[in-house]
Amino acid sequence: MSHEDIDHHVRIYMRVFAALVVLTIVTVGVSYLHLAPGPALALGLTIALIKGSLVACYFMHLISEKKMLLWVMAISLVFFFFELLIPMVTEGNNLHMGA
Amino acid sequence: MSDTGHDHHEELGFWRKYVFSVDHKVIGIQYSVTGLLFLLFGFSLMMLMRWQLAYPGQPLPILGGLFGPTRMPGGIMTPDFYNQLGAMHGTIMVFLGVVPLAVGGFGNFVVPLQIGAPDMAFPRMNMMSYWLYFVGGVVMFGSFFLPEGPAQSGWTSYPPLSNLASEGQTWWLVGMLFLIFSSLLGAVNFITTIIQLRADGLTFFRMPFFVWAQFVTSFLLLLAFPPLQAAGTFQLMDRLAGTSFFMPEGLVVSGQVQELAGGGSPILWQHLFWFLAHPEVYVLVLPAMGIVAEVIANNTRKPLWGYKSMVYATVFLGFMSFIVWAHHMYLTGMGTAMSSFFQTTTMIISIPSVVILTALILSLWGGSIRFTTPMLFALAFLPMFGIGGLTGLPLGLSAPDIHLHDTYYVIGHFHYVVAPGTIFALFAGIYYWYPKATGRQMSSFLGKLHFWPSFIFINGIFAPMLIQGMAGMQRRLYDGGMIYGHSQDVLHWHKVISFCAWGLFLAQIPFIINFFGSLRKPKEAGNNPWQATTLEWAAPSPPPHGNFATEPVVYRDPYEYSHPDHGEDYLPQFQPDAVAAKSA
Amino acid sequence: MSSVIPYTVEKRPDTGLNNVKIGIWLFLASEVMLFGALFGGYILLRVGSTEWPHGSDFGLSVPLAFVNTLVLISSSVTMVMAWASLMRKDTRKYKIYMFLTVLGGVGFMVIKSIEYSAKFSHHYYPETHNFLALYFTLTGLHALHVVAGMVVNAYLLWPGFKMWETNPQQFTNRVESAGLFWHFVDLVWIFLFPVLYLL
């Protein structure tokens, strides 16, 4: 990687950092609005998802990474969602969906 | 990995060479020997239980006095001790016996050789995996000496029972955490090695099937074990910090309401446990299929039938194994929609298993079969695994599972998969690669003396269990179900099973003699005693540190046996085309 | 006869990766599954209970956690800047940035321990309620990861730095791997923060 490439990267890091700070402020700010549980969850998780993707894509360079690593992470993400959702769905008969 | 950057010419001391070795072959042999010892130990636990089942409440002759008044007062087994033996039998056989032997042992020894690598990608991490496994084993074994004994809540450790159980359960959890770390490091190492260290010319579709099996297995270990790590952490918190992850509110134990915050879910443990433990089943089976494929191709002197479809089936099997786990939980009260979903995925996952098994059976067709000892075990694997798989189908459907759940039928089913299935394949692997590891052949006579009685006795153990289970006899009963009316007609099978189990033990004596006795023979096996085609047979037997004298190059597919344009009946992957043409 | 492991530093031509890069990502994949199970447990227990408390019911401090988030995000940036400085062969800046990264970890742990002791002083323990059980287990495991990352970073800052003289490429790779782990720890916190404190 040449020095110009690195300089370009550094500029991106700074922008991502700024975005992360702003989004953190937003997520805290929204929590003071005391939205209903449904919308609050959706909004909070969406912001977290955006922040997480920024970290993964730019700090961890996933956006320009080799396809093989993307496949590994994609597979584990698929199973990650199975882990999160299926236990809940399976117990669907016995659950109280309100927060 | 800085110290691997220069050549090792100096002799390593005893400790570095045989104990804290970073050589994948030494580590593989360490795993294998430790795994075999644990298999024997786990089997011994079961032989004790078989006495109690065949002769409930009668003192154990000769050995009965050895276990002390808390475990066997007057030689009669206490119910607690029975439960401990059962829980530890399962744990030891699965996590300390079969997996370390199949993945740690064969994977370590064979995979780098078969892909033409000098070692694993991370040799020191490899050593660490073994020693973490070893510590986990010591913790599990040590828990037998606790005043209240080891874990006694089954190998599945379902709460709330396991949360309330004695201290042995904490040791079980700590031991499991060590074993999980060990497996994770091993899995990272295997996948990296297979992706990065393949020899020149060894493309993915030229890899021996065994390497593919280990590759998929490693992904299962990597992604399925962490949920049990999480579950183990939760259970440790429950036991040590008094949390209620798995404890419902108002739980009454022996008439006492438990003083707990409550609000937890015992079902959460089952989800996390089976999220690991179903893929774990394929961790047990895939390496075995890999070994059988190698042995069958070599001894039929034919290429494997449908190699590519076997590979695709294996990858698909690995993927599907992550979304079938709740078929262990039909009776937990899940909704019909979800049980339909898991029934469907369970029926789908049987397809790739059938594809692999069918390909292996069709590979026999028209071959000139050599009935060597490894081949006998590999051939026995096919129908045994077949029975194991087919008896699983009724369990995968939620309606028949209501009747069969938690009966001896389940025990018969999964033992057919793992014992005469996987363990027979592992024996095939030992007989097959022993000359590579030691430079010596094992005795073929003792091998047959090991195989035939084992084959007969092991069926004498597990076939009657299917009959008992279909009559409704429950598992994990201290008295073997003698107080239940519906068990009366099948109780007499207990004695048959027990005698077969003790016979099976006797049948292992020729193996033990063969295993150690053959070490005294001269090193005469040569590089390629089986006239095989894959890369491990290019290295000297036993291979030195660094494995290959010259870096191997791969010229062709893995199983070029009886090639029509070639004089000899085998054309190794590592033989250059010019040489191949000359000898034609 | 040699036992040199190929592709420890240089990239394998057909995969375009070295061993360490694949190894660390595989490890992170298993970490994804670990935290997936922990979050899965959180979801199941939360939706399975009739009422679920808000973090503030147990005195969870949003301002402290907000500051901690910024600390961790900043240390993620300094980490990636440390790597970028190495790529420019600027070892002075590398040391500054790496020191700041370790400092960020220390700061995070200090704030975390202030939070923990505040809970304990109010007699809020893991056994008090399942919310607190999850709070302590999830943040505790995360804190273990922070400590592990700090140890690695401190090693690369002080004793491990001597590798720069003998094998700068391998050293840079090590910093990159340590960075990947550190960013992952940051990423986990990005989800833990709203889930435990805000929602």
pLDDT in tens, B221-279: 999 999 999 999 999 999 999 999 999 988 999 899 988 888 899 999 999 999 999 99
Q: How confident is the model at residue C168 (pLDDT cuts 50, 70, 90)?
A: very high
Distances (CA, A) of A9 to A60, B220, C82, C177: 12, 36, 12, 17
Classify residue C94: in a domain, yes or no. Answer: yes
Q: Is B21 left (phi over 0), alpha (psi -120 to 50) or beta?
A: beta
B503 and B535 inside one domain: no
B516 and B546 inside one domain: no
Classify residue C6: in a domain, yes or no. Answer: no
Partner-chain contact A82 B268, CB within 8 Å: no
For residue B335, what pLDDT is reported? Answer: 82
- For the stretch A39-90, pLDDT in tens is 999 999 999 999 999 999 999 999 999 999 999 999 999 999 999 887 777 7
Of A9, A76, A91, the CB nearest to C44: A91
B35 and B138 inside one domain: yes
Q: Which residue has the tokens 């056989």?
A: B93
pLDDT: which is higher, B454 or B18: B454
User: Helices B408-417 & B266-300, crossing angle to 10 degrees?
Assistant: 40
- For the stretch B330-352, pLDDT in tens is 998 888 888 899 999 999 999 99
Question: CA of A50 to nearest chain B CA: how many angstroms apart?
Answer: 24
CATH number for the domain spanning B238: value is 1.20.210.10
Domain residues for the domain of A36 are 3-94
B345 and B230 inside one domain: no
For residue A98, what pLDDT is reported? Answer: 43
Instruction: Using the predicted structure, report yes or no on whether residue A18 has a pLDDT greater than 70.
Output: yes
Classify residue A99: in a domain, yes or no. Answer: no
Tokens (6 digits) for B199: 């020899």
Partner-chain contact A68 C17, CB within 8 Å: yes
Which chain C residues contact residue A99 at CB under 8 A? 46, 52
Average pLDDT value for residue range A93-97: 57
Classify residue C165: in a domain, yes or no. Answer: yes
Q: Is B245 on the interface with C (CB under 8 A)?
A: yes
How many other CB atoms are found less than 10 A from the CB of residue B133?
Answer: 27
For residue A95, what pLDDT is reported? Answer: 58
For residue B8, what pLDDT is reported? Answer: 47
Q: How confident is the model at residue B29 (pLDDT cuts 50, 70, 90)?
A: very high
B498 and B542 inside one domain: no
Which chain A residues contact residue C36 at CB under 8 A? 79-80, 83-84
Helix intervals (H) in B197-330: 209-236, 266-300, 307-320
Instruction: Using the predicted structure, report yes or no on whether residue C2 has a pLDDT greater than 50.
Output: no
Partner-chain contact A86 B267, CB within 8 Å: no
Q: How confident is the model at residue B18 (pLDDT cuts 50, 70, 90)?
A: confident
Q: How confident is the model at residue A38 (pLDDT cuts 50, 70, 90)?
A: confident
B531 and B479 inside one domain: no
Positions of E strands within B375-483: none
Which chain B residues contact residue A76 at CB under 8 A? 223
Give the C-alpha separation, C14 to C29, whole Å: 22
Distances (CA, A) of A55 to A48, A51, C98, C184: 11, 6, 18, 8
Domain residues for the domain of B297 are 281-521
B287 and B413 inside one domain: yes
Identity at B307, one-letter amino acid code = Y
What is the chain B residue with the closest CA to C128?
B261
B514 and B576 inside one domain: no
Give the C-alpha separation, B413 to B390, whole Å: 8
* Residues 6 or more apart in contact with residue A46 via CB below 8 angstroms: none
B295 and B218 inside one domain: no
How many other CB atoms are found less than 10 A from the CB of residue C191?
Answer: 19
- For the stretch B40-83, pLDDT in tens is 999 999 999 999 999 999 999 999 889 999 999 999 999 999 99
Which chain C residues contact residue B188 at CB under 8 A? 23, 26-27, 30
Q: Using a pLDDT cut of 70, give the percent of chain B over it.
A: 97
Classify residue B202: in a domain, yes or no. Answer: yes
Which chain C residues contact residue B262 at CB under 8 A? 130
For residue A88, what pLDDT is reported? Answer: 75
- For the stretch B104-134, pLDDT in tens is 999 999 999 999 999 999 999 999 999 999 9
Which chain A residues contact residue B338 at CB under 8 A? 89-90, 92
Q: Is B293 left (phi over 0), alpha (psi -120 to 50) or beta?
A: alpha
Q: Which chains touch B (3 or more CB pairs under 8 A)?
A: A, C
Average pLDDT value for residue range B472-498: 95
**DSSP for B452-466, written as a single string:** HHHHHHHHHHHHHHH
Classify residue B276: in a domain, yes or no. Answer: no
Give the C-alpha separation, B192 to A66, whole Å: 15
Give the C-alpha separation, B198 to B195, whole Å: 7
Classify residue B162: in a domain, yes or no. Answer: yes
Identity at B539, one-letter amino acid code = A
Question: CA of A79 to nearest chain B CA: how many angstroms apart?
Answer: 7
For residue B70, what pLDDT is reported? Answer: 92
Residue of A91, A93, A95, A96 to mutate, testing the B interface (most B Cβ within 10 Å of its Cβ): A91
Distances (CA, A) of B150 to B53, B70, B205: 20, 13, 46
- For the stretch C9-54, pLDDT in tens is 999 999 999 999 999 999 999 999 999 999 999 999 998 888 899 9
Of C45, C199, C5, C26, give the one whose Cα is nearest residue C137.
Answer: C45
Q: How confident is the model at residue B409 (pLDDT cuts 50, 70, 90)?
A: very high
What is the chain C residue with the closest CA to B185?
C27
How many domains is chain A built from? 1
How many other CB atoms are found less than 10 A from the CB of residue B286?
Answer: 28
For residue B6, what pLDDT is reported? Answer: 44
Instruction: Using the predicted structure, report yes or no on whether residue A94 has a pLDDT greater than 80.
Output: no
Q: Is C169 on the interface with B (CB under 8 A)?
A: no
Give the C-alpha separation, B326 to B100, whole Å: 26
User: Helices B336-364 & B266-300, crossing angle to 10 degrees?
Assistant: 10
For residue B101, what pLDDT is reported? Answer: 97
CA angle (B89, B95, B99) in 5-degree steps: 120
CB contacts < 8 A (A, C) = 132
Give the C-alpha separation, A88 to B303, whole Å: 47
Partner-chain contact C4 B7, CB within 8 Å: yes
How many domains is chain C built from? 1
Domain residues for the domain of C100 are 19-198
Partner-chain contact B323 A82, CB within 8 Å: yes
Identity at B463, one-letter amino acid code = A
Which chain C residues contact residue A52 at CB under 8 A? 187, 190-191
Classify residue C10: in a domain, yes or no. Answer: no
Which chain B residues contact residue A92 at CB under 8 A? 335, 337-338
Which chain B residues contact residue C126 at CB under 8 A? 237, 241-243
Q: Using a pLDDT cut of 90, give the percent of chain C over it.
A: 93
Q: Is B326 on the interface with A (CB under 8 A)?
A: yes
Q: Is C129 on the interface with B (CB under 8 A)?
A: yes
Average pLDDT value for residue range B560-564: 91
Average pLDDT value for residue range B286-293: 98
pLDDT: which is higher, B202 or A37: B202
Q: Which residues of C28-65 are buried (b: 16+ CB within 10 A; e: fewer)?
A: bbbbbbbbbbbbbbbbbbbbbbeebeebeeeebbeeeb
Average pLDDT value for residue range B202-216: 97
For residue A65, what pLDDT is reported? Answer: 93
Give the C-alpha separation, B136 to B228, whole Å: 15
How many domains is chain B built from? 3
What is the chain B residue with the closest CA to C166?
B2
Q: Is C87 on the interface with A (CB under 8 A)?
A: yes
Average pLDDT along chain C: 95
For residue B423, what pLDDT is reported? Answer: 97
Identify which of A32-36, B284-288, B560-564 has the greatest average pLDDT. Answer: B284-288
Kindly give the pairing relationship between strand B252-253 and strand B256-257.
antiparallel
Partner-chain contact C163 B2, CB within 8 Å: yes
B480 and B563 inside one domain: no
Q: Is C114 on the interface with A (CB under 8 A)?
A: no
- For the stretch C97-135, pLDDT in tens is 999 999 999 999 999 999 999 999 999 999 999 999 999
CATH number for the domain spanning C93: value is 1.20.120.80
Of B467, B188, B505, give the one whose Cα is nearest residue C33.
Answer: B188
